[in-house]
Amino acid sequence: MNRLTAVAIVLISACALAQDSTPKFQVFGGYSLLHTDDGGLNGPLLNSLLEAPNGTFGLNSNFNGWNAEAQYNANRWLGLVADVSGHYGGPLTASSGSGVAGLPGGNEYSFLFGPVLTYRSHAKFEPFAHALFGFDRASLSAGSFTGLTTAASGAMTDTAFGMALGGGVDYNLFSHLAIRLGQADYFYTNHDLNSFYGGAFGPGLFSGLANHENNLRFSTGIVFKF
């Protein structure tokens, strides 16, 4: 009887281990697109503030970059994520006929941490949701504005609170490899645009702009599981 009990325990334990294929660690990396909130800034306002002819300046709201995550799974459903992303491109544009060049370039890096909930049902598709908190660092390089002698800008960097609320779906190709079909986040940042652009173009020049941004972030890529 004791032998039968021992065998039963071993078989039950083996079945449980076989069913629980949850990886302890997983790493995600891939492409990311950030759509930014203009915070009340627009082309006509820029033209007025920078004393440029109408139609000279516009705004760029879409920035390409990358997104990477390291995730620890405490159990089948709950994990902890460290999320890093970078996006690149200057926020200002100039019309092709304006003759203006030398616009400032820009970049934005976020460093976020938080919990993730994943629905694992032995299916190929694994939806998840997360709430991530940390900080966001936005930078502008100096601009010479060739062709427009009334404007110039200096380098500016600002670090502020950042938050990403959202989720996505992974598709499992193999036990240790998945494709992140899509991850969509409401991406909040707490940059004061008056201070940010004022630091680049001159204090007091910008007023009435937002002191936070409601952005959207989309990411896709590969997930490695260990």
The enclosing domain of 51 has a CATH number of 2.40.160.20
pLDDT confidence of residue 150: 67
Question: Long-range pairs for 85-89 at CB < 8 Å and ≥24 separation?
Answer: 85/32, 85/34, 85/109, 85/110, 85/217, 85/219, 86/110, 87/32, 87/33, 87/34, 87/63, 88/63, 88/64, 89/60, 89/62, 89/63, 89/64
Domain-located, residue 108: yes
Domain-located, residue 2: no
pLDDT confidence of residue 51: 87
Domain-located, residue 9: no
Residue 56 sits in which domain range?
24-225
Q: Which residue has the tokens 């304006």?
A: 98
CB 77 within 8 A of CB 127: no
pLDDT in tens, the chain (226 residues): 555 544 444 444 444 443 457 999 999 999 999 999 999 999 999 999 888 899 999 999 999 999 999 999 999 999 999 999 999 999 999 998 888 889 999 999 999 999 999 999 888 999 999 999 999 999 999 998 888 766 788 999 999 999 999 999 999 999 999 999 999 999 999 999 999 999 999 899 999 999 999 999 999 999 999 9
* Run of H or E residues at 197: helix 193-201
pLDDT confidence of residue 10: 42
Domain-located, residue 3: no
* Residue 52 to residue 194: CA distance in whole angstroms: 19
Question: How many structural domains does the chain have?
Answer: 1
pLDDT confidence of residue 12: 43
- What's the predicted TM-score (pTM) here? 0.88
* Residue (of 127, 133, 151) closest to 188 by Cα position: 133
* Residue 88 to residue 1: CA distance in whole angstroms: 69
pLDDT confidence of residue 152: 81
Domain-located, residue 132: yes
